[in-house]
Amino acid sequence: DQQVKQNSPSLSVQEGRISILNCDYTNSMFDYFLWYKKYPAEGPTFLISISSIKDKNEDGRFTVFLNKSAKHLSLHIVPSQPGDSAVYFCAALGGFGNEKLTFGTGTRLTIIP
């Protein structure tokens, strides 16, 4: 039962353009969402998060949007840079007694120079 889904395994975007990565979840108890970035042979690096009481959170080039009614969130990166090429994981947290992150399967983002 995949509670966090990233339906696009890969995405290619031209340098300077906007990258949009999507994530859907099924568990309505999730109340905190995070995006992690992962380079090969390294652990995930925290990027940005959003609480369910908000619908948008911005940090520099990165913005996360949350649509609770649709159980959908997205990560926008603008402008995209070559160093953004990595695998991006969406993760969710929340629910009574649930202290663990539930991850999606990831989207490989490739920025084309």
Partner 1 sequence: DTGVSQDPRHKITKRGQNVTFRCDPISEHNRLYWYRQTLGQGPEFLTYFQNEAQLEKSRLLSDRFSAERPKGSFSTLEIQRTEQGDSAMYLCASSQLDTEAFFGQGTRLTVV
DSSP letter for each residue of 28-52: TT--EEEEEEE-TTS--EEEEEEET
We find the least distance from the C-beta atom of residue 8 to partner 1, in angstroms, to be: 14
Site for partner 1 (CB under 8 A): how many residues?
Answer: 20
CA distance 63 to 61: 7
- Residues 27-56 binding partner 1 (CB under 8 A) are 34, 36, 41-46, 49
Instruction: Give yes or no for residue 1 binding partner 1 (CB under 8 A).
Output: no
Closest CA to 30 of 94, 110, 113, 99: 94
Cβ 81 to partner 1 shortest distance, Å: 22
What is the maximum span of the chain, computed from C-alpha positions, in angstroms? Answer: 45
Compose the 80-109 pattern: x for residues touching partner 1 by CB under 8 A, - for all others. ---------x-x-------xxxxxxxx---
